[in-house]
């Protein structure tokens, strides 16, 4: 079986084949949902944003340039949605431990790994939204510095520095842990 590329699926979608959107959804739903959970910290909102991402992909399918990669285009839509969310909500909620447990489902992992992941999540949540966003863009969505630079309207070098500064802050937040 040949796996259709994202770009071909987008082309098919533009030509009216809505099934292609279903294939893209299956391909990206988990990573996008995780991105929203880690950035927004709310499961219901993350579900809404996941849905909105694909509604926007459908709505703006004709503005997608066939010469560019579809993956960063999709991720830019998702990243912009998180920014819009913060603009609308205006403030960053703090998150208690119980909510953290609910947010981060970790089936069948050793206790030590679960504990380490919880520490990381807690530290991530304490970062400023734009820093959390940039870390998730780079290390979860695996966007390149170039894609981040375009998305954030900054230089590539600046994108690299911003990732580094966010990591340093994360390290600072983890200083009392064993990580």
Partner 1 sequence: MKEDQFDKDIMDYIDGVSSEVTNKDAYEQAKHLKQIVISLKEIPLQSVSRIADDRFYQFIAEKSTNVRSVLTLKQWLPFVMAAASIIILFVVLNNYKGFEDDYRALSSNPEKLSFIYNLNEQQLRTKDIDWLTAELKNEISPNIKVTIVDLLANYQSKLDNEFYNSLQSESIPSVQMALLNSLESSENIDFSNELLVFNQRKDLDKTVRQKVKNILSNQ
Binding interface with partner 1 (CB under 8 A): 1, 3-4, 15-16, 18-23, 25-26, 29-31, 33-34, 37, 47, 50-51, 54-55, 58, 104-107, 109, 113, 116-117, 120-121, 135, 139-140, 157, 160-161, 163-165, 167-168, 170-171, 174, 179
Burial label for 67, CB within 10 Å (0-12, 13-18, 19+), is exposed
Report, in Å, the least distance between residue 133 CB and partner 1.
Answer: 14
Residue labelled with tokens 């954030």: 152
Considering beta carbons, is residue 30 or 128 the nearer one to partner 1? 30
Report, in Å, the least distance between residue 90 CB and partner 1.
Answer: 26
Considering beta carbons, is residue 47 or 89 the nearer one to partner 1? 47
Backbone dihedral angles phi then psi of residue 125, each to the nearest 5 degrees:
-65, -25
Considering beta carbons, is residue 91 or 175 the nearer one to partner 1? 175
Report, in Å, the least distance between residue 77 CB and partner 1.
Answer: 15
Considering beta carbons, is residue 63 or 87 the nearer one to partner 1? 63
Query: How far is Cα 123 from Cα 25, in angstroms, rounded to an integer?
Result: 30
Length of the chain measured in residues: 179
Tokens at 105, concatenated: 């489902």
Query: How far is Cα 31 from Cα 38, in angstroms, rounded to an integer?
Result: 10
Query: How far is Cα 97 from Cα 164, in angstroms, rounded to an integer?
Result: 27
Report, in Å, the least distance between residue 10 CB and partner 1.
Answer: 15
């Amino acid at each position: 079986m040949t796996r259709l590329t994202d770009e071909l699926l987008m082309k098919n979608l533009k030509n009216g084949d809505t099934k292609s959107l279903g294939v893209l959804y299956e391909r990206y739903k988990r990573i996008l949902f995780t991105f929203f959970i880690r950035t927004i910290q709310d499961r219901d909102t993350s579900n809404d944003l996941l849905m909105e991402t694909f509604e926007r992909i459908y709505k703006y399918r004709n503005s997608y340039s066939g010469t560019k990669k579809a993956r960063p285009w999709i991720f830019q839509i998702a990243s912009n949605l998180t920014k819009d969310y913060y603009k609308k909500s205006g403030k960053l909620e703090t998150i208690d431990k119980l909510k953290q447990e609910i947010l981060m489902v970790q089936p069948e992992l050793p206790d030590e790994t679960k504990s380490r992941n919880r520490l990381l999540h807690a530290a991530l949540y304490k970062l400023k939204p734009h820093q959390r966003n940039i870390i998730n863009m780079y290390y979860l969505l695996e966007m390149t510095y170039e894609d981040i630079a375009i998305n954030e309207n900054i230089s590539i070098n600046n994108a690299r520095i911003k990732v580094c500064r966010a990591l340093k802050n994360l390290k600072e937040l983890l200083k009392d842990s064993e990580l």
